Structure 1
């Protein structure tokens, strides 16, 4: 018995269902595959450059400018630190150190130190010792701070910049004295009264209340450091955006 004839049909491949959105070939590589996949010998993507592939280039910093010493004891220790960092540590030649040190002094200071310029062996050490004796000893710096603070003019209530200037001077004196904690002269009752009198009346009243609160809490009268922190905060508030607006309105609203 013969089977019926079945006509042959063209076989079509069975396609697997597509998962995800179709590939937009216009937004990828021309053939929708990374270039390394066209290389039959490539088994992995090319290696990305690492930090070790780059040559470390030295960074050349600009030479800092050292401000000349003008004989003010308040500037002595900052000047010494600059000389130590940018002159003393960069050369072992005593003669070179001496020449640079004298060049970074104002004429009025250098004139007193030129007597050591001929001593190329120990002249640098002698100049450093003389400068410390004349400008850097603790009591000299403390007396200079007290003198500068007492000469500062009283701060007017409608001048926030004057209050900021007084604040800057207080902080500068604190920075100059913090290395050896020489605050005795500034903590005296007479000096504190003088400094409090520099403030406007409203700030004087606020300081009296603040100091009395500290006295009740700690049993000690606040000294120069506490007063400096108080003035610094008041100066920042007065020179803020809203602080200046309030001062401006208070001045112009007066009859």
Structure 2
């Protein structure tokens, strides 16, 4: 389980995250939603230790992340940020292999190579494995970075808007893959999403944030409701249920 207690982040005199306390369930897919500026990406960066917190605490399986060694943390938790870029001219296979660094320290073993191949196959990237990243489309590069994160083979995987640059078919395929990682491999997946319908369809648990604070959280049937989403986004939202799934209309 990932737990945060009174997590706060300030930039100068501006507070961008206000004492956020969360309990992210283990072995589930949790979606973080909310309008721009809600603090979604900031919370994810603090949880993953990419950004120092101003105050508060983050624990993963009871361990305080501020006192956990970096290599030990990297074997437990992986994160994919929004701004994925590399100044190096890498092939897809080389990039994915970086995901094994916490285990191999740069010296790939046979087990590492098997993990790389498995990640390439999982994201249907084997035909592109020897292509350079700058030869790929934005969607193909995004899938390559996601394969790198999955190749790290951690129990906790955090994604900050992983559907960026993906068309509808690949976005659906990506959410299905993340759902499969939870169901088949027991991973704990946390994903920042802008599309409420994806969150409603694939998440077990939804965290809604607004103005740097926790607005509400719970299963989709608790969060994906007309009155909740209308107030969260400050626009009229109407929720429909079709085949047991909730879908939103925006006016």
Bin the TM-score by the shorter chain: under 0.3
Task: Determine which structure has more spread, i.e. the larger CA radius of gyration.
Answer: 1
Q: Give 1 or 2: higher helix fraction.
A: 1
Normalization by structure 2: what TM-score?
0.26
Question: Could you say which structure has the greater relative contact order, defined with CA pairs below 8 angstroms and 6 or more residues apart?
Answer: 2
- Structure number having the greater strand percentage: 2
